[in-house]
Structure 1
Amino acid sequence: MEGPVWRRWLRVYVWGGAIIGSGVLLFKYSTPSDEKLIESFSPEVRRRYEEGRQLRQEEQRQLMKIVRETANSSDPIWKTGPIQSPFERRNNNNNTAGSQDIFDEFHRRQGEDDKRGDLERMQNSLLEIRRQNAADQPKKHWWKPW
């Protein structure tokens, strides 16, 4: 025989702990943090991530609002209905129809903000072009025809 049973179990626990511990350490030191991962994205992917972040945060706020309303109601959970994402596009009942309005309102406001920012940038660039043209052209007097 190899020895007492407790030695075999001790070996099992030591080797199992070593395998699990090495896996935990390997995972901890080989996976990047969220900030490092976002920094490694290409500029286009990073921009899309930042744009989607606002939508995800708004969705989370709306979901927490629904959870609070459900928790405060005195009805059983099966009568209050399932907690769905407020931005799901299914309009098969009245609960998600209001959610779709929230989704549309969020995108409308975001589009208006984008348009406003584009308009301001265009106006600033137009003013800059006009200033450059005015500085480049010599000033002509109205009384001199040449």
Structure 2
Amino acid sequence: MDPLVARAYLRGLLYGSGIIATGVVLFKYTTPTDEELISRFSPEIRAEYEKNRALRQQEQKELMELVKQTTASNDPIWKTGKIGSPFEKDTRSMDPKLVNFQEFEKEKGLKYQQEQIEKSEKELQEAKELLKKKSSWW
């Protein structure tokens, strides 16, 4: 191989590596983390983000279930799960959302009420036990 060609290849390799390394370093130090990005939100947007966090987590869980169903089947995703294809007539009117917001909020409220009931029953039981202990001392 000609020494000039080898030198050109080496120089090209060094310059290319330098450009790529510069890009990686700039990306690493200029891209904000999720926490930094959320902290820059206005208070209203941050409150909305925190409020909808549980809904997004539930949607992610539903999506993972859909992926598991799809991988177990040989059919396309719109035939396997809840997501309909916009190109097929019979599935165009399907709702593309994986989680119904109203049902999610209703389940969340019912779960909260059940926890409050259990907590109240536990406190009532503790109060009854305290009354028994006090009455037995007399």
Which position in structure 2 is the counterpart of 1:77? Answer: 75
| Alpha carbons of structure 1 residues 41 and 47: separation in structure 2 relative to 1, 3 Å | same
Q: CA deviation at 1:67?
A: 2.1
Which position in structure 2 is the counterpart of 1:25? Answer: 25
More contact order relative to length (CA 8 Å, sep ≥ 6): 2
Question: Partners of 1:106 and 1:100 in 2: how far apart?
Answer: 12
Aligned residues: 103
Q: Give unpaired runs (5+ residues) of structure 2.
A: 85-89, 114-138
Q: Which runs of 4+ in 1 moved over 4 A?
A: 82-86, 99-102
Contact 1:70 1:80 (8 Å CA) reproduced: no
CA RMSD of aligned residues (A): 3.4
Q: Give unpaired runs (5+ residues) of structure 1.
A: 87-91, 117-146
Asked if 1:66 is matched to 2:52, the reply is no
Opposite residue 54 of structure 2, the aligned amino acid is Q
SS at match of 2:67: helix
Question: Partners of 1:32 and 1:101 in 2: how far apart?
Answer: 29
Question: Partners of 1:56 and 1:85 in 2: how far apart?
Answer: 17
Which position in structure 2 is the counterpart of 1:44? Answer: 44
The structure with the larger Rg is 1
